[in-house]
Structure 1
Amino acid sequence: MDSLSHLVRMLSPAGRVDLHCHLAGVWAAEHPLAPPGHVPYHVILGGKLRLRIGQRTQVFEAGDVLVFPQGVSHSLESVELNEHDSPPDDSSQRHFNGVVTEIRVDGPGRPMDMLCGMFVMRETGGSLLRSLPDVVHIRSSERPALRALISMMQSESVDPKPGGGAVIDELSTALFTLLLRHLMAEKQLNGNVLALLADARMCRAVEAVLSRPAHPWTVGALAEQAHLSRATFARRFAELGGMPPLEWVTTVRMELAARLLVREGMAANQVAERCGYASEAAFGRVFKKHYHSGPGAYRRNMLQAQTGLNQPSI
């Protein structure tokens, strides 16, 4: 199995499509910062829109796929909206068609047609996305496999059939894999674990850590996985991955810990054991250094922040 397939199988990203939007006239929609491990995406099927991230704006059109690896807050708006105008009031009509929620805004001009969804990463997914840009833009017109996949997603969302929900979720997960393939093909990934995956030797060490994050890894043990000397491995890992090997191992463990605390509701001592720490106290010190709060406080804050996240918005 190739390294990308291996990684995707281990991460088991859960893709989903929440909305099918038909937006005409003047409209705007705000997207707040997504929680860790949640990656929003938009697939433009027809028309144009303006993306705004902070003070930066850019217009995209049919065939464009926009993915937000860091879950950065952003807004989408019609190209007819004047930059100095206030956002219009929400006049959208919503209808769940059995597969996705359809959102419609009536108005003059050609409507913008778009699918909106989310990739939810497994425990170690955040380390994969670190150092990626705020938004990744892919033109489906230049990639036949991606274009065919999007066509199937559109068909399943427009004309619901039995099993359509399962089909469209699986298709969106396949979209995630094609995204990673695109990023690896670009070969401009230094400072990210994907750059390590693109290296035939370094990917063996990455796969070993993702498979067994609680193992007592040392630089020497990781170098053995890559069949390199300790010094060569450490230098190469830092050059490609953007951080020392054991710092990345700690990052993987902390992301696993965060998910076990919040998603699984595990006690701190159980999480410490799952993440390879000999004592709860040692685990707590590393966790607080990484997240700037203890495990209990982190769990409470994240559960509060996630309230209402399952209510889809444009």
Structure 2
Amino acid sequence: MDVLSDAVAAMRTGRPHSSRQDVQAPWGMRFGESDGAGFHVLLRGSAWLIPAGGEPVALAAGDVVFLAHGHGHALASGLDAPLKEVRVGSDGRWPEPPRPADAHGCADAVVMCGVYRLDRSRAHRLLAELPEVMHLPARVGTHRSLRAAVELLGMELDERSPGSDAIVTALLDTLLLYILRAWWQQERGAGRTAGWAAALADPAVSAALRAIHGDPARPWTVQELGGEGGLSRAAFARRFTALVGEPPLTYLTWWRMTTAGRLLRADDAPLRQVAQRSGYTSEFAFAKAFKREYGVAPGQYRRSPGPANRAPGSNSRV
């Protein structure tokens, strides 16, 4: 199984949205705190990304920035440019893009902005450890798949045609995975030896993760998981804990509960089936473990409309 795809699917909710903004200097947009994650792609011109904390980041044409944690930030033509508040609608949609200040002139910058709605109570460590601002500069020959997705999305937003809604949604889902893949490739290239970039690159640990995600219901032992990557029990446990940040069976339990939550929301299968698919032979044991993890019983969780109604005591990794 693809661990990265699973990690993203575990916390994604609703549909992603994006818009293309054609602007003329001086221009500035301020984005408030959000439950989601956002991205900006500079298609033309130059700009500054101004995070809530940290130094401003100079952006050139083709640069991609991803803000995984929903912190407030601004995007502007200059550090002293006036900022206009941008508010995403309650349904997650972006407002209509502003018209250029000079209707007869050409925009001197074109920026593509997007937002992904997330359930942060189920944040995977893989995403939770990302920095506040991920900057992927445009460099010739690098991240070609990401560049292709950006170009296709830009064209679709610029030239709306039949089927655009479905195409844009699919391209936004694809873009998120390409952004994350490009970041971890960049981290590995820089020689990072800890965290999820290293975990996914480690043959033994990645083999165990694929096994867990491929069959979470199996009664895995540490020895069996180590055997997936050809390591002894003790050597595997040390390496997995060092890279992933928690012991193998702790991660297995968390992923089982995450899988259970998705199953409860996805269909109306009996709790007995959900328990079995989550690795529990007893419905009672499953219900007890689920309530300990989420703070509510499985049936109550299934009836609740979404993450906003999660009980205050539910666990979170953010």
TM-score under structure 2 length normalisation: 0.71
1:260 maps onto 2:263 in alignment: yes
CA RMSD of aligned residues (A): 3.9
Equivalent residue, structure 2, for 1:63: 62
Q: Residues 245-299 of structure 1, C-alpha deviation per residue, up to 9 Å, x if partnerless?
A: 1111112112212222334466655432321123333223333433344445555
**Distance in 1 between residues matched to 2:288 and 2:55, nearest whole Å:** 41
Separation of aligned partners in 1, 2:194 and 2:135: 18
Partner of 1:190: 194
Return closer, same or farther for 1:305/1:157 CA change in 2, 3 Å cut-off: farther
**CA offsets 1:190-243 (integer angstroms, 9 cap, x no match):** 232x42221122221111111111111110111121121111111111121111
SS at the partner of 1:276?
Answer: coil
Question: 1:50-80, CA deviations, whole angstroms, 9 ceiling, x for partnerless residues?
Answer: 3333x445234232212234x4333334355
**Aligned pairs for 1:172-187 within 5 A:** 172-185=172-185, 186-187=187-188
Q: Look up the match of 2:113.
A: 116
Structure 1 residue ranges without an equivalent (≥5): 93-99, 307-314
Q: Is the 8 A contact 1:223 1:229 kept in 2?
A: yes
Q: Structure 1 21/285 Cα, relative in aligned 2: closer, same or farther at 3 Å?
A: farther
Q: Paired residue for 2:34?
A: 32
- Aligned residues, how many? 285
**Percent identity of paired positions between Structure 1 and Structure 2:** 29
The offset of 1:91, in angstroms, is 10
Task: Report the equivalent of 2:306.
Answer: 302
TM-score, length basis structure 1: 0.72
The unaligned stretches of length 5 or more in structure 2 are 89-93, 311-318
Q: Where does residue 75 of structure 1 map in the other structure? A: 73
Q: Equivalent residues in 2 for 1:122-133 (5 A)?
A: 126-133=124-131
Match of 1:291 among 279, 291, 294: 294
Rate the CA distance shift 1:58–1:239 in 2: closer, same or farther, 3 A: same
Aligned partner letter, 2:72: H
Amino acid at match of 1:48: A
Taking structure 1 as reference, are residues 189 and 105 closer, same or farther at Cα in structure 2, changes over 3 Å only?
farther
Which residue of 280, 291, 298 maps to 2:283? 280
Q: Given the superposition, is the C-alpha separation of residues 152 and 127 from structure 1 closer, same or farther in structure 2, using an over 3 Å criterion?
A: same
Aligned residue type for 1:104: P
Q: Which residue of 2 aligns with 1:104?
A: 98
Equivalent position SS for 1:141 = coil
Please say if residues 20 and 111 of structure 2, whose CA atoms lie closer than 8 Å, have aligned partners that are also in contact. Answer: yes
| Cα distance change, pair 161–271 in 1 and its aligned pair in 2 (3 A) | same
Match of 1:205 in 2: 208
